[in-house]
Amino acid sequence: MNYQHSHERSIADPAGFWAEQAQAVSWFRSPTETLRALADGTHQWFADGQLNSCYLALDQQIEQGRGEQTALIYDSPVTNRKARYSYRELRDEVARLAGALRELGVEKGDRVIIYMPMVPQAAMAMLACARIGAVHSVVFGGFAPHELALRIDDAKPRLLLTASCGLEFERVIEYKPLVDKALELASHRPEHVLVLKRPQAPVTLVPGRDLDWHAIVPLADPVEPVPVGSGDPLYIMYTSGTTGKPKGIVRDNGGNAVALTFAMRHIYNMQAGDVWWGISDVGWVVGHSLIVYGPLMAGCTTVLYEGKPIRTPDAGAYWRVIEEYGVNSLFCAPTAIRAIRKEDPSGALSRRHDLGSLKHLFLAGEKLDSSTHQWLGKLTGKPVHDHWWQTETGWPVTAPCTGLEGCVSRPGSSNRAVPGYRVAVLDEQGQPLGPNRQGAIVIALPLPPGCAQTLWNDHPRYLQSYLAAYPDYYHTGDGGYLDEDGFVHIMGRTDDVINVAGHRLSTGEMEDLVARHPAVAECAVIGVPDAIKGQVPLGLIVLKDGSRIAEQQLQRELTVTIREQIGALACFQRIALVKRLPKTRSGKILRAVLRKIANGEAVAIPSTIDDPAILAEIGATLAVYTRAS
Ligand code: COA
Ligand code: AMP
């Protein structure tokens, strides 16, 4: 297959193109209808197809002779544990866990929340839900109880799965008290909490509600995968929007299976038997697509790593894993590479390891700066590719398709649209912009299989957030431009979302919390550049008249609030007191202008601003933070 031809065909005849790709998936009932357009602008793929995502990831691989091949490698420098599961072993564990879920009353369509660290049981839990048609929603362990409670109330799970603790460097983070607190805050009550006890932390079980994983699961009878409809939800992944309420991105079974099968082969060029490492967490979309479903559906060996790029034990950890398991290709976030580079700038630790197995490195999640790109390329001697996607799409929108002929990877860009996506750049009036002109990045409808077509419990919000701004296009929320050869350059978010160490966070949510402080008259939270994390939040604060709180004290108090309400991952540690904020004459804070100043972009003075002089004041304040990075 050739990239150019495939892309053109996928745009000219999406139904024909994806009907062919769908043949690479083993359906229980093959779809007779490929693409259905709905009146509200959304689409349904493979409407009458039936399949099971767990079957595709495990049973089908065994049927194809991969039963004894390693399916999953667990490598945990934080606990000094390593384990391997063959496809047969993983299937047996998952089938038994699925049986346990069913015995606990979980049925097809029921939701199950998974709040677990990076242990194999987290991946097993996802697959076990898929096996019985239950809908999993994994919540990243770094989120605080309040965030977990929001997700519990939205998803209304029948069951919650957790573990006694996670491990962050040498610190034990007890999860169970966080779950207990979240359940106090939430209105919805799951019937049970199934707790995986880990030796690093004791745990107290609430009688009648909490159950011991090790006491329940081994006694359960294994169950077979059930057929589910293509459009039935496989999972809900909550992600930050521009308000305090997270968006429940819904991933279907059929589109996801077709898209990931295509992506593993044609973007990542992975063959059955290859070793793949998705360096992320099961709490993020990458964990779903590139640790669990994608590599297993492709018959690869997937590495599940419970550790960090540095200090577990050192900045050579990634190179050790690559050598030890013969990793052929990997995904990671630029922030991880920046952290490694800071600790080991000459790359001395990498030279202790044989990286010969590695063919490609794929980076995404935030902007890949050219200096990090070059450093990594030189260090490994391997092609480093930037590619771009979102929780909503579930798989790459732009990437070099390394498994297709005619693949070109262009450093400095996030590469070209992969087959299925037509990317365009529009101006504020919705008119297409020519090459090298910056505007809103959009994707022409229909979105290809795998991309979310709704939000859990809130279809109107989906339509409003993604389809309302520009007719016939999906609005990505990113800004940037296309160059003359169609390579996409992502410049950053155009909304109130920031990206901290690859973690997507809402500044609007932080603002709500900051504004509740009794000394704060008004505030704006924006992302400012950070040398390691890409961006970190900065609170610009106007104090109430007569307020006497010292800046440092206010900063400490707000840091605690954000940690308690959102989680430590938000890294809210900086504030700047300002006399006023730039506003329109009608009193709306000009956040887009603040974002531009923080990014060091040129700002045209908006005609609606009430006092243009304020931009210079704010610019001087923000310059300190831009320089600090
Ligand atoms: N459970 C509980 N707490 C967590 C957590 C988890 N799963 N993940 C992060 N946290 C906490 C950390 O302990 C830290 O708390 P602290 O402020 O009390 O020290 C805080 O959240 C911030 O964590 P992190 O963003 O990981 O920063 P760090 O300074 O500890 O580490 C890096 C810096 C660069 C090593 C780290 O951010 C990293 O590994 N980044 C890569 C991220 C990644 O792969 N993202 C992929 C997304 S697709
Ligand atoms: P998430 O939904 O958490 O995966 O975050 C998606 C957002 O991360 C995108 O909308 C972008 O803003 C950003 N992002 C992802 N990949 C890239 C990339 N390669 N370059 C720049 N930004 C990226």
The pLDDT assigned to 45 comes to 98
d(Cα 513, Cα 550) in Å, to the nearest integer?
19
Per-residue pLDDT of 394-424, as tens digits, reads 999 999 999 999 999 999 999 999 999 999 9
Q: Is the pLDDT of residue 245 over 90?
A: no
Per-residue pLDDT of 487-509, as tens digits, reads 999 998 998 899 999 899 999 99
The pLDDT assigned to 61 comes to 98
Joined tokens for residue 225: 């995968």
Q: Is residue 112 part of a domain?
A: yes
Question: Which residues are CB-neighbours of 627 under 8 A, at least 6 positions away?
Answer: none
Mean pLDDT check: name the lowest of 292-301, 356-365, 525-534, 600-609.
Answer: 600-609
- CA of 310, closest atom in ligand 1: 35
Q: What is the residue range of 613's domain?
A: 495-628
Q: Is the pLDDT of residue 34 over 90?
A: yes
Nearest partner of 582 among 564, 597, 566, 599, judged by Cα = 597
Q: Residue 475: CB within 6 Å of ligand 2? A: no
Nearest partner of 194 among 173, 172, 184, 179, judged by Cα = 179
Give the distance from CA 73 to its chain's centroid. 21
Q: Residue 285: CB within 6 Å of ligand 2? A: yes
Q: Is residue 525 part of a domain?
A: yes
- Of 198, 226, 254, the residue at which a domain comes to its end is 226
d(Cα 192, Cα 621) in Å, to the nearest integer?
51
Per-residue pLDDT of 288-313, as tens digits, reads 999 999 999 999 999 999 999 999 99
Mean pLDDT check: name the lowest of 63-77, 461-475, 570-584.
Answer: 570-584
Largest pairwise CA distance in the chain: 74
Q: Residue 185, class by beta-carbon neighbours within 10 Å (0-12 exposed, 13-18 middle, 19+ buried)?
A: middle
Q: Is residue 342 part of a domain?
A: no
> What ligand is nearest to the CA atom of residue 141?
1
Going by pLDDT thresholds of 50, 70 and 90, the confidence category of residue 560 is: very high
Q: Are 108 and 131 in contact (CB under 8 A)?
A: no
Q: Residue 398: CB within 6 Å of ligand 2? A: no
Joined tokens for residue 56: 């595709």
Residues flanking ligand 1, CB < 6 Å: 141-142, 166, 168, 173, 279-280, 284, 286, 308-310, 333, 335-336, 339, 365, 501-502, 532, 568-569, 571
Q: What angle do CA 132, 53, 407 make, to 5 degrees?
A: 165
What is the number of H-type helices and E-type strands within the chain? 20, 29
Joined tokens for residue 54: 């767990």
The pLDDT assigned to 130 comes to 99
Q: Are 190 and 159 in contact (CB under 8 A)?
A: yes
| CATH code assigned at 155 | 3.40.50.980
The residue whose C-alpha atom lies closest to atom 2 belonging to ligand 1 is 142
Q: Is residue 128 part of a domain?
A: yes
| CATH code assigned at 590 | 3.30.300.30
Q: Residue 386: CB within 6 Å of ligand 2? A: yes
- Of 201, 226, 251, the residue at which a domain comes to its end is 226
370-380 and 334-343 helices, crossing angle to 10°: 70
Give the distance from CA 601 to its chain's centroid. 27
> What ligand is nearest to the CA atom of residue 333?
1
Per-residue pLDDT of 160-186, as tens digits, reads 999 999 999 889 999 999 999 999 999
Q: Is residue 123 part of a domain?
A: yes
Q: What percent of the chain has pLDDT over 70?
A: 99
Q: Is the pTM of this model over 0.85?
A: yes
* Dihedral over alpha carbons 489, 464, 46, 95 (to 10 degrees): 90
What does the DSSP 8-state code read for residue 77? T
- CA of 286, closest atom in ligand 2: 4
Q: Is residue 374 part of a domain?
A: no
Q: What is the identity of the amino acid at 618?
A: I
The pLDDT assigned to 587 comes to 83
Per-residue pLDDT of 54-100, as tens digits, reads 999 999 999 999 999 999 999 999 999 999 999 999 999 999 999 99
- Of 226, 242, 274, the residue at which a domain comes to its end is 226
Strand-pair partners of 172:
167
Q: Is the pLDDT of residue 228 over 80?
A: yes
Question: Which residues are CB-neighbours of 166 under 8 A, at least 6 positions away?
Answer: 116, 117, 118, 141, 172, 173, 175
Nearest partner of 373 among 342, 337, 345, judged by Cα = 337
Q: What is the DSSP string of 397-446?
A: SB---TTSBT----TTS--PBPTT--EEEE-TTSPBP-TT--EEEEEESS
The pLDDT assigned to 214 comes to 98
**Count of domains for the chain:** 2
Q: Tell me how far the alpha carbon of residue 568 lies from the centroid of ligand 1, in angstroms.
A: 8
Going by pLDDT thresholds of 50, 70 and 90, the confidence category of residue 158 is: very high
Q: What percent of the chain has pLDDT over 90?
A: 89
Q: 3-state SS of 315-330?
A: CCHHHHHHHHHCCCEE
Q: Residue 287: CB within 6 Å of ligand 2? A: no
The pLDDT assigned to 626 comes to 67
Question: Which residues are CB-neighbours of 18 under 8 A, at least 6 positions away?
Answer: 10, 34, 35, 45, 258, 420, 448, 449
Q: Is residue 315 part of a domain?
A: no
What does the DSSP 8-state code read for residue 448? P
Q: Is residue 111 part of a domain?
A: yes
Nearest partner of 78 among 337, 310, 335, 339, judged by Cα = 310
pLDDT, mean over the chain: 96
Question: Which residues are CB-neighbours of 346 under 8 A, at least 6 positions away?
Answer: none
ω into residue 612 within 30 of 0, thus cis? no
